[in-house]
Structure 1
Amino acid sequence: MHWDSTERDGVGVLQLFGYLGRQDAHRFEGAVGWVRSRSTGPLVLDLSGLLGWSEEGEAAVVRAAGSPLAVCGLRDRPAPLLTTEDTLIRIYPDLRSALADLASMR
């Protein structure tokens, strides 16, 4: 797994690429912390470049939602923990709609 980050209109965007498994959960959590520390607004996690994830990888995303988190780019990927857990996660189909919605809330 590798990641890239940017900020768009005050929203931190963390893009994931590759596969998010148990062995990458710690690096992912570090990336989330790094992006949150450099952004003053909400965080969008863009999973459109992710090829897959394990249950442990999905659980790392749920743990990252200790504060509000927007997730986009799930496509047809099953996400039972994201969609059934009582978390602070908002799910969007793509990055454009996530950014538009978050901008309208500011």
Structure 2
Amino acid sequence: MSIQWDLDHSDGVDLLRLSGHLGQDALHRFTGAVDWPWARRTGPVFIDLSALRGWNTEGEAAIVDAAARLGADHGPPAMCGLGDRVAPLIATAHGLGIHPDSATTRTTLTMP
């Protein structure tokens, strides 16, 4: 199974929701998913992983890179929905805000 994604814009923040599995075969689709909000952003963009069933090492590295890219110039890189999943690359990513849910992430990114 590949990944699916959708983008939600609310309160000046874009939320990129991912679902499915992010493996080697889905990296190209994931890049397209990240390119869409990155090209159109006017404010912060964050990634919601809560519906993503899993990823391999390459997928996890792509998530970290995407979060950093989406956070550039428009707020700190951020994501939510990791839950209790083990993700060493995500957990050790420098400057990446990891939040429990999208509401918390959105609030953090819109605070003055």
TM-score scaled by length of structure 1: 0.90
1:81 to 49, 71, 89: 89
Q: Counterpart of 2:14 in structure 1: which amino acid?
A: G
By how many angstroms is 1:69 displaced? 2.1
Count, aligned residues = 104
Contact (CA 8 Å) 1:12, 1:36: kept in 2 or not? no
SS at match of 1:40: coil
Correspondence 1:93 to 2:95: no
Aligned-pair identity (%): 48
Contact (CA 8 Å) 1:13, 1:45: kept in 2 or not? yes
Equivalent residues in 2 for 1:22-41, closer than 5 Å: 22-41=24-43
Gaps in structure 2 of 5+ consecutive residues: none
Moved over 3 A (4+): none
* Residues 85 and 102 of structure 1: CA distance in aligned 2, closer, same or farther (over 3 Å): closer
By how many angstroms is 1:5 displaced? 0.5
Q: Counterpart of 2:83 in structure 1: which amino acid?
A: R
2:64 to 62, 65, 74: 62
By how many angstroms is 1:85 displaced? 2.9
SS at match of 2:111: helix
By how many angstroms is 1:63 displaced? 1.5
State which drifts further: 61-70 or 19-28.
Answer: 61-70
SS at match of 1:75: coil
Q: Counterpart of 2:99 in structure 1: which amino acid?
A: Y
SS at match of 2:14: strand
Q: Counterpart of 2:52 in structure 1: which amino acid?
A: L
Gaps in structure 1 of 5+ consecutive residues: none
Paired position in structure 2 for 1:71: 79
SS at match of 2:86: coil
State which drifts further: 9-18 or 23-32.
Answer: 23-32
By how many angstroms is 1:40 displaced? 0.5
Task: Measure the CA separation in 1 of the matches of 2:39 and 2:93.
Answer: 25
